[in-house]
Amino acid sequence: MTINELFIKLLKFKSITPNDDGAMEFIKEYLNDFETIEINKNGVKNLFLYKKFSDGEHLCFAGHIDVVPAGDGWDTDPFEPTIKDDKIFARGTQDMKSGVAAFLYAAKHTKNFNGTLSILLTSDEEGEAKYGTIEVLKYLKEKNFLPDYSIVAEPTCEKEFGDAIKIGRRGSINGIIELFGKQGHAAYPEKSINPIHKIAPILPKIAGINLDNGDNYFAPSKFVITDIRSGMEVTNVTPGYLKMMFNVRNNTHTNKEKIEEFVAKNFKGLNYKLTLSQSAKPFITTPDNKIVQLIDNSIQKITKITPKHSTAGGTSDARFLAEYGVKTIEFGVINDTIHAPNEYTKLEYVDKLSQIFSDVIKNF
């Protein structure tokens, strides 16, 4: 089976989160000389395949087989891959069956490796991710079998294949501020406490404000207001309650405690309640790390491009690996049509991606 045949086979599985549509069974058979661990929970399928070649370090390729729903606006059937001028159109071509095909093919054709080589796959990355990669990592930690390094094959390139890798990701902290006032008649403002009036002079001090200066790897953590609502949509009642929602894509210099201090400083003297939740923690794998240097060298060898080191974008399952102490980077095809109608990538990119992963394995 060629890399293109493998890729097309994976694309035909209608693996909309959390359904794998039989993809995991196919992958188990494809890598039938690897040991298998299956961890299925709440309808989510997780597969961990590994092969110990020697007593060296443990390298894991990680990703997800699930895709988002196709939606409307497609020119072709999103689950019947269509090739036009080296472009292949189907749901999951970029995010991220191209990456999965590339590392499966590289692993299949590995004859020698300096350590343990493994594959971690989930069917719950595009969903809530509660029962996916993190469940496998819990199990591996219990068995003292966590990887030393990981490559997550999410699409990372921007304009040219090979131009960017992710060496870290920002975290994400969501916040709700409830501001309590006193409802009353609009004609008697002196008898009311209007939370809209109370928050108005505060907004310029918090909206879009940087909470830190960032660093060589991360942009500053910014306080982004996403929703404000109050009142009853009438003109003669002063509201007694206001709710504001915000998000901070935080780097390693800002955490929940720092946000609490920032809010307390700006809302001092007011009757408010702050609720924070963190859906992802930031991480960084510095450029001097072995896995960064290996992927850099392989990308330059195959593409003749020196990739930039990025931490931009949202979150991925790389955050879970990093939280368990696994040195993690992300690299995959160009990211410009993920989750969109007519999602596509080039077959050339998938072939080169597999070559790069094979080169990393060879030189590990």
**Residues forming the active site:** 66, 125
Q: How far is CA 66 from CA 31, 41, 310, in A?
A: 19, 15, 25
Amino acid at 55: D
Asked whether the beta carbons of 167 and 218 are under 8 A apart, the reply is no
Residue 78 tokens, joined: 């999103």
- Using CB atoms within 10 Å of the CB of residue 114, give its burial: 0 to 12 exposed, 13 to 18 middle, 19+ buried: middle
Q: What is the spatial distance between Cα 66 and Cα 331, in angstroms, rounded to a whole number? A: 18
Residue 297, φ and ψ in degrees, nearest 5: -65, -40
Query: CA 331 to CA 267: how far, in whole Å?
Result: 42
Residue 246: which of 229, 231, 269 has the closest Cα? Answer: 229
Are the C-beta atoms of 63 and 152 separated by less than 8 Å? yes
Instruction: For residue 333, give the nearest of 346, 315, 320, 324 by alpha carbon.
Output: 346
Q: Report the C-alpha dihedral over residues 176, 180, 184, 189, rounded to 10 degrees.
A: -100
Q: Which helix (H) or strand (E) holds 242?
A: strand 241-248
